[in-house]
Amino acid sequence: MYLVCGEALFDVFSQETSPRAGELGFTAIAGGSPFNVAVGLQRLGVASALFGGLSSDYLGARLRRVLEGEQVDCTWLVTSDAPTTLAMVGLDVSGSAQYQFRGEGCADRQVRHEHLPLLDEQVRGVHVGSYTLVVTPVADTLLALVQRESGQRLISLDPNVRLNPQPDVQLWRRQVEAFAGHAHLIKASEEDLALLYPGRDPQDVARGWLNARCRLVFVTHGGEGASVHCAHGSWARPADDSLAVKDTVGAGDTFQAAVLAYLVRLGADSPEGLAGLGREAIDEMLAFAIRAAAITCSKTGPQLPFAHEL
C-alpha cells in the first residue's frame, strides 16, 4: 500500500453555455494532485490510502464518497469543520489548465503533528506533493512524516508548484529542497523547474537531485514527452500522440501514479529495489507512464486510466 499525503478538493470548471452574459455555469470534479494519485494507484491495481484534511461539509462528504467508491483507504483522513478548497480552473486554447484557488483556512491545511499516523509493514511507500508542501500547518506535519519514514519506506515527491495558494517562490524552493532531501524518487514538470529555478537547465536541476538516497528523477515536458535521470544516465521519450488531446488536467498525477504502479509490478517499491533497477526497466517505466498520461489527456478533466486501458 502507498500512503499518499496532501489535499482533496474540487476542480471547478467554467462552462460558457448560457446565451446571457451575466450567467456562467460550472462543473465541479473531485481532484487535487494527491487525491488523483491515490485514485490513480487504485485504478492501476495498487492499494492506496490518503492522509490529509477533509471537511465535514457536504463537499467533503462527497469527496469521501468518491474515495470510498474508488476503494482508497480513508482511515487516515483528518476531518474538521473547515470548508473544502475549491480550485477554479480555466483552460486555454491548447487545453492547458490555469488555476485560481479558494483555500485559505480550508480543511486540507488543518493537519497537525498530533495527526501523524503510525505506519505498519503494509505501507510500502509515502508520496507527498503539491501545495500542502508549503501551507501550514500541514506542510510541517508532512515534512515530519517523511523525515521519520525515509529510512524505512520509499518516499516519492512531486512539487506540482501552484503559486495561487502560496505565491512566495523562495518558500516553495526551500520547502521542495527540504522534502527532496528525504526522497528516493522525484517527479517534476518542466514548468515546476522553471518556476523554482528560473534560467537553469531542467536537466541540470534534475541531475542535481540525484544522490545516494534519490535514485530516480523524472521530468515531464508537456507535449514533448518526458525524461528520466538516474545512475545509468539521462534520456527522454517523446509524447504518445496516438490519442487526440482534450485537456491536460491530471496528466502529471497520472504519470506519478503510473511510475509508482510500475515499481510495484517490478517488485521494486522499496529504497533497495529502486536502487537496483537497470536501464531497461527504467525505460519501460518511463514509456508506461507516458502512455498512461496520454490516456488521461484524451479525456476531459482528471479521468485517470484503469489498468485494462494500458
3-state secondary structure of 52: strand
Asked whether residue 111 carries a pLDDT value surpassing 70, the answer given is: yes
CATH superfamily membership of 2-14+26-309: Ribokinase (3.40.1190.20)
Which residue type sits at 42? Answer: Q
Core vs surface per residue 113-125: b (16+ CB within 10 A) or e = eebbeebeeebbb
Reported as a pLDDT band with limits 50, 70 and 90, residue 13 is: confident
pLDDT of residue 249: 83
Cell readout for 17 is: 453555455
Question: Domain ranges in the chain?
Answer: 2-14+26-309
Q: What's the average model confidence in pLDDT over 3-11?
A: 96
Q: Angle formed by the axes of helices 33-43 and 251-266, to 10°?
A: 40
Reported as a pLDDT band with limits 50, 70 and 90, residue 16 is: low
pLDDT of residue 94: 62
Write out pLDDT tens, residues 189-246: 999 999 999 999 999 999 999 999 999 999 999 999 999 999 999 999 999 999 999 8
Write out pLDDT tens, residues 253-268: 999 999 999 999 999 9
Say how far apart CA 37 and CA 52 lie, in whole Å: 13
Cβ–Cβ < 8 Å for 28, 84: no
